[in-house]
Amino acid sequence: MIVHLLKCFGAEPGGGNAALVVENDGGSEAERQRFARERQVSACVFIDRQADGMVVLDYFYPHTRSPLCLHATLAAAHVLLTPPGAPATLTVTTAMRGQALQLLRSAEGLFISLAPQPAPAVTVEKYVPSELMGQHVQLLSPPVVASVGSPKLLLEVADRTTLRALRPNLELIADWSALHQVSGCYAYCRTGNNTYEGRNFNHLDPAQEDSATGVAAGALAWHLQRSLSLHQGHVTQQPCLIEVQYSRGEIRVGGMVQGST
């Protein structure tokens, strides 16, 4: 077994959201979940090379298996595309849902190309965002569920001050998400022409708040139908920057990858 520890989407050297990339493990789902729980890194991705040459990515958080995690996918792209002689592009699939992802290496860096996915049809009553956020919130646009592989409830708040002060009801978010087959809430605000800041709420423990959420960045770009730069991680003291390139029917999510094997 080979394990790579990488930090993804860091806005500055040494920063970013940590991920473990695991090669040649051959473990069962239960063994992989135990590995992720014991390591307590925000995400683990296991690379499975099939006999036909296809590469499958299997994602685990410490508490659950996931259909898609883009910061872990970006870490896997670093492992698969940056060694000498590696290809510049590679199509992989996800283990849980068979979603196709194209990994890209260019002069601009590493990107993941993927298509928007169907999202659950959820009616979000007016009172729900405030209940989930644990305080009265005035949204600037209607709440919406969008997905590039892991559906998020997107909530637009007024500004950075409001965003950073949020102390949501994490247990209620978990219950609401399970009921509606959504992977938590993503609160965000606009900070410039095509720049945004966001926070992801998908853990019961506030200390495990995500520093960078690629699936939310992709979902937001798809919802807004624009390319954007998304800042995240101020509250967790791990500043991250996710770059998303939007075109009709395709989202490219990229950012910095750093680390050691």
Which residues, 6+ apart, have CB-to-CB distance to 203 below 8 Å? Answer: 63, 170, 184, 209, 210
The predicted pLDDT at position 253 comes to 97
* Mean pLDDT, residues 219-244: 95
Q: In the prediction, which pLDDT does 55 show?
A: 96
Confidence of residue 261 (pLDDT cuts 50, 70, 90): very low
Percent of all residues in the chain with a pLDDT value above 90, rounded to a whole number: 86
Mean pLDDT of 218-234: 96
Per-residue pLDDT tens for 136-184?
Answer: 999 999 999 999 999 999 999 999 999 999 999 999 999 999 999 999 9
Residue 12 has pLDDT above 60, yes or no: yes
* 121: pLDDT strictly greater than 50: yes
Given a contact cutoff of 8 angstroms between Cβ atoms, the answer to whether 78 and 260 are in contact is no
- Residue 90 near residue 113, CB atoms below 8 Å: no
* Model confidence band, residue 260 (pLDDT cutoffs 50, 70, 90): low
Specify the pLDDT at position 202.
Answer: 86
Helix or strand (DSSP H, E) at 258: strand 257-260
| H or E element that contains 83 | none
Distance CA 45, CA 33 (A): 11
Alpha carbons 246 and 58: distance in angstroms, whole number: 26
**pLDDT tens, 21-59?**
999 998 999 999 999 999 989 899 999 999 888 999 999
| Contact present, 4 and 261 (Cβ < 8 Å) | yes
Q: CA angle, 201 as apex, 102 and 230 as ends, to 5°?
A: 50
Tokens read off for 83: 């060694």
Give the CB-side neighbour count of residue 1, counting CA atoms within 13 A.
Answer: 11
Q: Helix, strand, coil: what percent of the chain each, to 5?
A: 25, 35, 40
Mean per-residue pLDDT, 85-108: 94
Phi/psi of residue 246, nearest 5 degrees: -105, 135
